[in-house]
Structure 1
Amino acid sequence: MPWLLSSQLDCLSSSPSQRECERTAFSFYCAVRERLPVWLLEDMRSMEVFCWEDGHPRAFLPSEALLYALVHDHQDYARYLLNRYSVTALKAPRCSFCCSRGSGAPHLNMAVRYNRVAILGMMVEALKDCDVQGQRREYLDSCGGCAHVADAGKTAVQLAVELSHSDCLLLLLIQGARPDGLDGALQRLVSCDVSNRRNAQRCLDFLLLFLPKPPLLRHLQDEPQRWQSLLGKDVFSWLCGLAPPPLLLQSLQCLARAGPDQIGMLPDYLQLHNWQ
């Protein structure tokens, strides 16, 4: 893979055939980076690009090509792969570091990390092709992948909260992803700089909007003045278990359940920050 260190490549490149596989994979990576036409990329992937696996070359998979499209925001190629191969393009590829079979939802996490909102939307649409609703939700709530990967152990929702990628978060929540990470959202709101404050606040608001019932966060009472200034008195009291949710929040929660795609179209005086 092109993101391996040169020292790792030296260890991996043990034969001319393996080095040729690495060369073709890197050429393909560069072609996607240059956003070459879809037909040309597919010709390369199906006829010219190979990966080394179990001592033999194999064809480059659509799921691996989709990772490249995500990194370089090649939306046309991502659209083609998802339309042509559907959920097959979302299968976790085999890990090149530990050689284990892929697991989790690395494509979702990568889309969130790079803030590829358009491609993430295509991906969650493709997930509608899952035969069982439970499988779709399980995929949305899966973690990133192998233990040595940067986002291992984090769901796409948790990663979106950590990075304050609020548009990605809303898209995932609308599609039924579990709204976890409330503590992380609160800590992010406290620790982020001013330039990220708005998106951190939006992430917290979206989680509150889709939570069926928030956990009682009594530790907020250790610094009541600080948290009340950030959350507003009504939301603070609700999260501490001292009062019901604000009326506007209850109304927006009903709207989110009935038609969540309409949330972003509300007039400014009904936007989320006004419940504070």
Structure 2
Amino acid sequence: MPWLLPRELERLCSSPSQRECERTSFSFYCAVRDRLPVWTLEDMRSMEVFCWDDGRPRAFLPSEALLYALVHDHGDYARYLLDSFSVSALRPPRCHFCRVGGCGAPHLAVAVRYDRVAILAAMLEALKAHEPPGTRRQYLESRGGGCAHALADASKTAVQLAVELSRADCLLLLLAHGARPDALDAALQRLGAASGAADAAQRRAAHRCLDFLLLFWPGAPPAAARPLQEEPQRWQRLLGKRVFSWLRGLAPPPLLLQALRCLAQSGPDRIASLPDFLLLHA
């Protein structure tokens, strides 16, 4: 049957058991998408729904169900999985396409990509409660994980992705829970690109991301930040003279920045609730 597409040929050659797994997997996906009650979804996951793996059916893992909950913003189901299975719900699932073992932190990447702030906060609290600081930081700083063909964000950390997408609330949560603020150049580039945008909310989000990175920077930022050297007058106008001079290594950090840094150590809620006029760029 050479006229058939590879996907159609594979469907015809698959066994009845595999086709049944595909059917039930899709029904589970739709059930999470429709935000059915938690008890219904968990009954389906543990007793009725199967996925095809290595030539045999198996039940969906909690980590796979959590990815569905993230995509469809089913907060109740996500919190149930985290409460019931703890950090095992955050283990990266194995790629079903090339059978590569799970690695990285795809749940963080998906939470940032879809801007699931509430679920991300629950995930980070689960890590804080059940993982030592070293292991928790290693997880926060790992790449998106998975395979490049299956996950576009596989090569980026959650912090880098949050800066790239201007997900300021997600970025604040990650930094407050110990992630390294290692995307300063990306934040400057993003701010530069957004400064000419007509959408004021987009410019404000890009500026907040840079502010949060500076708040959690462990010392003086590198004076050789490339965008600042290429267009110093433009960046002095965007950042203000004091912040620009500090980033170039020409002056100490502004007093407001030092005060906000102390406040940031007490938790993300303290910073997120501040009025706009207290942010650095003001």
TM-score by length of 2: 0.90
Q: 1:201 aligns with which of 186, 200, 207?
A: 207
Give me the whole-angstrom Cα distance separating, in 2, the residues matched to 1:57 and 1:260.
43
Residue 9 to residue 42, structure 1, CA distance change in 2 (3 Å): farther
- What is the aligned partner in structure 2 of residue 136 from structure 1? 136
Question: What SS does the aligned partner of 2:159 have?
Answer: helix
**Given that residues 73 and 116 in structure 1 are in contact (C-alpha distance below 8 angstroms), is that contact kept between their aligned partners in structure 2?**
yes
**Given that residues 87 and 129 in structure 1 are in contact (C-alpha distance below 8 angstroms), is that contact kept between their aligned partners in structure 2?**
no
- What is the aligned partner in structure 1 of residue 50 from structure 2? 50
Aligned pairs for 1:20-169 (under 5 A) are 20-148=20-148, 149-169=151-171
Give me the whole-angstrom Cα distance separating, in 2, the residues matched to 1:185 and 1:14.
47
Q: 1:173 aligns with which of 162, 166, 175?
A: 175
Q: 2:240 aligns with which of 229, 232, 257?
A: 232
Unaligned runs of 5+ in 2: none
Give me the whole-angstrom Cα distance separating, in 2, the residues matched to 1:57 and 1:204.
47
* Aligned residue pair count: 269
Opposite residue 145 of structure 1, the aligned amino acid is G
Unaligned runs of 5+ in 1: 1-5
Q: Which moved more, 1:146-155 or 1:68-77?
A: 146-155
Residue 34 to residue 260, structure 1, CA distance change in 2 (3 Å): closer
- What is the aligned partner in structure 2 of residue 216 from structure 1? 223
Give me the whole-angstrom Cα distance separating, in 1, the residues matched to 2:57 and 2:129.
31
- What is the aligned partner in structure 1 of residue 19 from structure 2? 19
The structural deviation recorded for 1:259 is 4.4
The structural deviation recorded for 1:267 is 4.1
Q: 2:281 aligns with which of 265, 273, 276?
A: 273
- What is the aligned partner in structure 2 of residue 3 from structure 1? none
The structural deviation recorded for 1:57 is 0.8
**Given that residues 174 and 261 in structure 1 are in contact (C-alpha distance below 8 angstroms), is that contact kept between their aligned partners in structure 2?**
no
Question: What SS does the aligned partner of 1:99 have?
Answer: coil
Give me the whole-angstrom Cα distance separating, in 2, the residues matched to 1:158 and 1:70.
19
Residue 259 to residue 49, structure 1, CA distance change in 2 (3 Å): closer
The structural deviation recorded for 1:60 is 0.7
Give me the whole-angstrom Cα distance separating, in 2, the residues matched to 1:131 and 1:146.
22
Kindly, what percent of the aligned residue pairs are identical? 70
Give me the whole-angstrom Cα distance separating, in 2, the residues matched to 1:71 and 1:128.
23
Residue 206 to residue 133, structure 1, CA distance change in 2 (3 Å): same
Q: What is the RMSD of the two structures over their aligned residues, measured on CA atoms?
A: 1.7
Opposite residue 226 of structure 1, the aligned amino acid is R
Question: What SS does the aligned partner of 1:158 have?
Answer: helix
**Given that residues 86 and 130 in structure 2 are in contact (C-alpha distance below 8 angstroms), is that contact kept between their aligned partners in structure 1?**
no
Is 1:243 matched up with 2:232?
no
Question: What SS does the aligned partner of 1:201 have?
Answer: helix
Residue 269 to residue 131, structure 1, CA distance change in 2 (3 Å): closer
TM-score by length of 1: 0.92
1:14-57 Cα shifts (integer Å, max 9, x gaps) = 22211211111110000001101110000100011111111111
The structural deviation recorded for 1:235 is 1.1
Give me the whole-angstrom Cα distance separating, in 1, the residues matched to 2:25 and 2:163.
33
Opposite residue 32 of structure 2, the aligned amino acid is V
